[in-house]
A and B are shown apart, each in its own frame.
Chain A
Amino acid sequence: MAIKSYREAISEVLINEMRRDPRVIILGEDVVGGLGGSAGEGEAAGGTFGVTVGLAAEFGRHRVIDTPITESAIVGAANGAALTGLRPVAEVMFMDFIGVCLDQVLNQMAKFRYMFGGKCSVPVTIRTLMGAGYGAGPQHSQSLYAMLTAIPGIKVAVPSSPADVKGLLTTAIRGEDPVIFCEHKMLYGETGEVPDGEYLIPFGEANITRRGNHVTIVAFSRMVLLANKVADKLAKEGISVEVIDPRTTSPLDRDSILESVEKTGRLVVVDEADPYCGMASEIAGLAACEALDALKAPVQKITPPHTPVPATAHLEQLWIPSVERIEQAVRATMAGNRVARAG
């Protein structure tokens, strides 16, 4: 085990997989950076957040491919390259930009295997940066994984820790299906223990980050960290909270969630995404459909309001689900009450 940041874990996987398999290529905007600039052809960026620093030097520009700002061509080229034998890792710099290239996600990569009768593999990984908290405003802060989860044919990962980044990204790159790998920008500096050597985490296996008996919190991506804080605080009061991090939304580990709800009878879902048609609603629905008899209190959905993400710092903080709101929801469910929803 070594202590690494979330960002370092991403870089480690990219380097490992490119060393391991010559079919792995990286393409995206400024993954090298600085090409065509007045300073000459040296690497200038290695990605907006430095994740791909040094990769072009080690693997060459034919495998670390700087593209124009051209998301449809980036994802489309990744799709075509995957159909013809490569294992591309494409970077869509911010998840909001999925809007620019949605056809290649929704109608192309997600459909190839099915509409071609299973006669192809689509080993594409799209790494993309999501999440609020940076003051980046409405077009650089969204977490759109629920929308993508609703598209059969693609898989969606939402890692919350450096170790999960390593295990899930490795699995994504080695897999035979398209994966949208959603990296939370506010987690890039978070550190944690990362297993050395080969480390793969299967998709569809939740991680139970806190064990407890009274309340189940299901949380995604950065929200797992907040849920853990609440669990640790309430443990001191004798409220035993179980925190489940599904780690992938497609496939979703429904069994672990249901088992926990059967045990605790109380469910809080924390999702940094729209309250409508999101994972919070999905999991509340799952509990209503399959564990209603076990529920001792209404399910609590803690989400942002149905608004864009504001740039203004204090409004953005109001928008993001807070530790306080999660704690309040846990206490309410312990009392059998419903809390007023935000927004």
Chain B
Amino acid sequence: MSSYDPLLLLDAYRRMRAIREFEERMRREVQAGTVPGFVHLYCGQEAIAVGACLNLNDTDYIGSTHRGHGHCIAKGCDIGGMLLEIYTKADGLCKGKGGSMHIADLRKGMLGANAIVGGAPPIAVGAALTQKTLGTDGVALAFIGDGASNQGTVAESLNFSAVLKLPMIFMFENNGYAEFTGARYHLGGADIANRAAAFGMPAEKVDGTDFFAVYEAVGRAVERARKGGGPGAVEATAMRWYGHFEGDMQKYRESKEVERLRQTADPLVKFEQRVTVEFGIEAEELREVDEEIRELIEEKVAVAKSAPKPSNEALYTDVYGSY
């Protein structure tokens, strides 16, 4: 049994619970018609974002995806600022001009959710290049879905990082589906980690609903990268609970699939079972976190809904530094 600081475990639980509560609330809000644009929810994959990001500092960078809310929360982005952004309000993290698919917070090392599938990995590689060029011990990590793993940019990023021995971690999130198409169909070779390994980097496969498995595998890759050992990859499998986007009818999924996932593969339940049994954390402590998070999200959603929109002048600002 590995040893874990209870504070780290509570932090992990708090972040995973925040993601779950945030996303479930967003789901209800989308159904109520209050949220603009496309929203892609992260429920079921919480252990991946949190397991990965708890190995990182604010001076480490992540590149994210269209399904980025979980990554933002795990990396420490302000939840109120995120909600303001999703509601496209003036005080959002991106002043309301990015929305759900573009939340970024460079101060937290969050290089942006990215609405182009496969868009972020080369950018994260650039952040790793900065770390290496400046001689820091920082790293960069790209979250990459199973769908994105089929994009040429990912192969380019793997090779580029391997050739230049960059402190780069490829965090593959296999959630079973690329939009409406199952990984069983779309993944040639059926194994993403093997693709990364083919570029000469260590690559592990883990259960993405198991926080500990993700945390430890990414931890090994991060530690190696910080010491100049070059890039690494982890493929974590965790099926998403909801559609590609909210509103997706999911006719491609067998009706009981999600119910089964909730019962057998809930990362928060699995986490709670282990920490209460093995690490002496009381369920009561976790319920307090639940309540705290529930109140926080409730408050921040209300604030976001009533916050002012960007002014008309904002249409024209921040296109260039100078023009």
Give A residues with C-beta under 8 Å from B: 25, 27, 62-63, 65, 67-68, 70, 72-86, 88, 103-104, 107-108, 112-121, 152-153, 155, 175-177, 203-204, 251
Contact = CB atoms under 8 A, between A and B. Distances in A.
A84 B61 CA distance: 9
Contact of A68 (B111, B124, B160): B160
Contacts of B277: none
A83 B111 contact: yes
A75 B129 CA distance: 12
Interface residues of B, number: 49
B95 A72 contact: no
Contact of A84 (B97, B98, B130, B323): B130
B132 A117 contact: no
Contacts of A204: 323
B140 A80 contact: yes
A104 B122 contact: yes
A53 B97 CA distance: 43
Given A83-B106, A121-B321, A76 B127 contact: no
Nearest to B107: A119
Contacts of B5: none
Contacts of B97: 114-115, 117
Q: Which of A68, A79, A115, A251 has the most chain B CB within a 10 Å cutoff? A: A115
Interface string B138-165: 0010000000000011001101100110
A63 B130 CA distance: 10
B236 to A, nearest CB: 23
5 contacts: A73-B156, A76-B153, A80-B124, A117-B93, A120-B104
B116 A81 contact: no
B159 A119 contact: no
A103 B116 contact: yes
Nearest to A178: B320
A27 B125 CA distance: 13
B119 A108 contact: yes
B70 interface: no
Contacts of B156: 68, 70, 72-73, 76
B133 A117 contact: no
A115 B96 CA distance: 8
A76 B123 contact: yes
A224 B126 CA distance: 37
Nearest to B98: A115
Nearest to A79: B123
Given A72-B152, A84-B127, A112-B104, 13 more contacts: A70-B159, A75-B122, A76-B121, A80-B111, A80-B129, A83-B126, A108-B123, A116-B94, A117-B95, A117-B98, A155-B323, A176-B321, A176-B322
Interface in B77-111: 92-98, 102, 104-106, 111
B104 A116 contact: yes
Contacts of B3: none
A80 B110 CA distance: 11
Nearest to B122: A76
Q: Which of A72, A73, A82, A104 has the most chain B CB within a 10 Å cutoff? A: A73
A24 to B, nearest CB: 10
B152 A116 contact: no
Closest 9 CB pairs between A and B?
A76-B122, A80-B126, A117-B95, A176-B321, A118-B318, A117-B94, A77-B126, A80-B123, A73-B156
